[in-house]
Structure 1
Amino acid sequence: MLHAGGAVDHCPLPPIGRPPGAPAGCHARHHALSAFRWHRGDPGDPAELVARYLADNGLPVRNLGRTGDKYQTIGDGDICGASLYVSADAGAVMAGGVIGSRSPVPGIPDVYAVVYRHARDVTPTGDMSGDRWSLGPWRESWTRADHATAVDEVRAAIGRGDVYQVNIVGHASAAYTGDPGPALRRVAALAGARYGGVLTGDGWAVATASPETLVEVRDGRVVTRPIKGTRPATAAGRRELLASAKERAEHVMIVDLERNDLARLPGTGPVRVDELFAVREWSGLWQAESVVSADLDPGVGLAALLRAVCPGGSVTGAPKLAALARIAALEPVGRGVSMGALGWIGHDHLDLGLSIRTVAVDGSRAHVWAGGGITIDSDPVAEVDEAAAKTGPVRAALRGR
């Protein structure tokens, strides 16, 4: 059924794992009622269309900054919330930026939302053994030399003053046979996966082990937690990350961008940095994270919030629109489900992770993406190695290791 530019399906597939970012109290009790989908090239404003769909289903997305009587006890049969996914392409549309290359998984919508009813009975979602799963060799979207050349082109653009920083992302895919469900649940269960979960659609599924908060709204406050800076999770790696002037400069630049994104929200502020360059661990890697927050005006709705924060600054660069144009010119394969937003919208909060450390499967292939932020001081070989380190745990989980 058409929904003013999007489409609504009233018989979506049942979950094969916990939806990303869903509250623990609803675990295995999610019964999908309907799903909204919007594809690149469809008419209408995707931010407004998905907000309308969620509002029509009783979720309070028109005034996210409200406080007071917003908590609702969820009983059997009640709508407990919704999963929301926004692709990198949809984020670029919302920001008014240049859209990149076509997604390698075009069957997956660019905006997808599923409304869930809280079911009485627990529904098993299966184990993670995957005896009938077989994954073939990975096929990279570009060679190490191509990736390094793209890094050099970004450094040249920075030298000309076109941009200050650009995040460059590569893609790889592998053929598979068998049931992907157990492999996807292994990805979602990786250590440090703050948004670990699986989202399914007609002929496709997405699993994320994302540790990064794109945007969270609770108790009238909006928060983003940008991550920038990566090293192996060893004592030496931690010392190296803390001592790296290049990593800190790159990180602070993105923190400033995120501060500006939140400041664009009408009536919101003041924006403050609650924590700067805190080193935390994700699945064998140290990563630097900051916390940026502001009081959210009660009248701010979901559509305005998505337009302000999508796509995330830590996976685009600065200035954001100039970085999007550079990304579109350099990356040969679209970002697809990666580098977007994926999470949960409930009656009392919104919590969307950045869809990094994320894998997609269609009917025949598994797809992964990884990259990093490029500054004038970036070393091309080191950047290629960093991207490989980020995708390593996801690839290992898919293979069952």
Structure 2
Amino acid sequence: MRTLTAPAVVPPLCAGSLRERDRLQWWVGDGGDPADLAGEFLTGHGLAGQLTGNLPAVARPHTAAHDPAVPCGAAMFVSAAAGAILAGGPAGPPSPAPAVPDLVVVVYEHRAHPDPSTTTGGTPTSWRLGPWRPSWTEQQHADAVEAARAAIGRGDVYQVNVVGHSAAPYAGDPRPALARLSRLPGARYGGVLTGPGWAIGCASPETLVEVTGGRAVTRPIKGTRPATGTGHRELLASAKERAEHVMIVDLERNDLAQVARTGSVRVDELYAVRRWCDLWQAESTVSAELADGVDLADLLRAVCPGGSVTGAPKLAALAQIAALEPVGRGASMGAFGWVGTDRIDLGLTIRTVAVDADRVHLWAGGGITWGSEPHAEVAEAAAKAAPVRAALADR
């Protein structure tokens, strides 16, 4: 597979005119701290120093006219395992796609002519996707949900996200399929990132953290129903979904408080129902003014992994996840986005796939509370995966 990059949330004026300048790739087995490694690498390229009183805290209009000596920005990916390590929790089982790094940072510069390595188009090629094979049965998934409920009943955890994995063999060039995935409706963090022998395709609608002007914003999504009139009414009326959502909003408030000025954390919007493909989802907006001296490494340690894909308390939830899920989360439930001269914008890697030499990997799940019904949770995970599978299969 040829190296290909089409970063998520790239500035629109710069799309098509970027060229890779430098790259960092890291796996959990390499040792070291991924937040420090990412921060030092980006700072070495003049990006992501202190986020207050320095770039990118002082936002300025982004233009396509860059000094060639100055990077435009960088694509960043952080795996779920790397995020768990940053939080001080267990990394979980091994990834079913070990070729994919756990940290990738790609620094881009401008060129007068587009670099073909930054586009996902090209001549259509053959593509065949085989049958999906799950890593566990529907009953095993339901049993894991029941085990999570038991942990909640014991008081070990208040909420825990349970995620399943499936994989499908493929033949041909995966790039057009990944490009289709990245263009799904509502894919705020739609993009593709690849390296030799691996690729990640993302269609995530969820903001893990966005920083502009010294203010950090997160937009947790929790609560799902079919995108019908009935589904909309059910999501608004569901006490279970609202309680689950508010619990994660509170967790995100606590996460941001680790790097915020005292008293600056606020909930700007609570439980707004928005559409992603064929689903209604509940989203809130939480923001905070960053404290003096906060840098990218501090920010990553505070917000990774995202509360909406772990649970509460976060460390207790990570312990449950490591015990319940049979395979690692790989490229899913991590972070993917852009670190620029004027902003940081990272999405959660939900609705995300990984491609290795012979298989496409997909993860989907949901938050489990005491009120969860196991087989309904299995059905919700399938509903989240369905648009991703359809985009990949479409010829």
With normalisation by structure 1, the TM-score equals 0.93
- Alignment correspondent of 2:313: 319
Deviation at 1:225, TM superposition (A): 0.1
Q: 1:201 to 1:131 in 2, by over 3 A?
A: closer
State which of 374, 380, 383 in structure 2 corresponds to 1:380: 374
Contact 2:260 2:289 in 1 (8 A): no
Residues 1:292 and 2:286 are matched in the alignment: yes
Q: 1:262 to 1:361 in 2, by over 3 A?
A: same
Runs of 5+ unmatched residues, structure 2: none
Letter in 1 for 2:316: A
Runs of 5+ unmatched residues, structure 1: 1-11
- Alignment correspondent of 1:260: 254
Equivalences for residues 75-114 of structure 1 within 5 A? 75=66, 77=68, 78-114=70-106
Counterparts of 1:28 and 1:393 in 2: how far apart (Å)?
A: 27
Counterparts of 1:139 and 1:115 in 2: how far apart (Å)?
A: 36
Contact 2:168 2:360 in 1 (8 A): yes
**Larger deviation, residues 41-50 vs 131-140:** 41-50
Residues 1:23 and 2:16 are matched in the alignment: no
Equivalences for residues 297-376 of structure 1 within 5 A? 297-376=291-370
Q: 1:120 to 1:268 in 2, by over 3 A?
A: farther
Deviation at 1:66, TM superposition (A): 2.8
Counterparts of 1:335 and 1:130 in 2: how far apart (Å)?
A: 31
Counterparts of 1:129 and 1:238 in 2: how far apart (Å)?
A: 41
Contact 1:215 1:222 in 2 (8 A): yes
Contact 1:149 1:380 in 2 (8 A): yes
Equivalences for residues 149-298 of structure 1 within 5 A? 149-265=143-259, 267=261, 269-298=263-292
Counterparts of 1:116 and 1:268 in 2: how far apart (Å)?
A: 35
Deviation at 1:105, TM superposition (A): 0.8
Residues 1:62 and 2:49 are matched in the alignment: yes
State which of 13, 18, 30 in structure 2 corresponds to 1:42: 30
Contact 1:13 1:32 in 2 (8 A): no
Contact 1:197 1:207 in 2 (8 A): yes
Contact 1:76 1:119 in 2 (8 A): no
Counterparts of 2:307 and 2:215 in 1: how far apart (Å)?
A: 19
Counterparts of 1:126 and 1:341 in 2: how far apart (Å)?
A: 21
- Alignment correspondent of 1:7: none
Percentage of matched positions with identical amino acids: 63
SS at match of 2:28: coil
- Alignment correspondent of 2:134: 140
Contact 1:65 1:217 in 2 (8 A): no
Contact 2:261 2:288 in 1 (8 A): no
**Larger deviation, residues 156-165 vs 260-269:** 260-269
Contact 1:177 1:364 in 2 (8 A): yes
Deviation at 1:20, TM superposition (A): 1.2
Letter in 2 for 1:142: W
SS at match of 2:72: strand
Q: Kindly report structure 1 stretches of 4+ aligned residues shifted beyond 6 Å.
A: none
Contact 1:66 1:297 in 2 (8 A): no
Counterparts of 1:283 and 1:384 in 2: how far apart (Å)?
A: 19
Counterparts of 1:388 and 1:32 in 2: how far apart (Å)?
A: 36
Deviations 1:324-381 (A, max 9, x none): 0000000001000000000000001000000000011011100000000000000001
Counterparts of 1:146 and 1:14 in 2: how far apart (Å)?
A: 37
Deviation at 1:127, TM superposition (A): 3.5
Deviation at 1:269, TM superposition (A): 4.3
Q: How many residues of Structure 1 are paired with residues of Structure 2 in the alignment?
A: 388
Contact 2:58 2:212 in 1 (8 A): no
Contact 1:226 1:255 in 2 (8 A): yes
SS at match of 1:79: coil
Contact 1:130 1:183 in 2 (8 A): no
Deviation at 1:270, TM superposition (A): 1.7
Contact 2:249 2:286 in 1 (8 A): yes
Deviation at 1:62, TM superposition (A): 2.3
Counterparts of 1:200 and 1:280 in 2: how far apart (Å)?
A: 30
Deviation at 1:268, TM superposition (A): 5.3
Residues 1:391 and 2:389 are matched in the alignment: no
SS at match of 1:41: helix
State which of 112, 116, 134 in structure 1 corresponds to 2:108: 116
Letter in 2 for 1:84: M
Deviations 1:98-149 (A, max 9, x none): 1110001111111110000112113452548854000000010110000000
Deviation at 1:297, TM superposition (A): 2.0
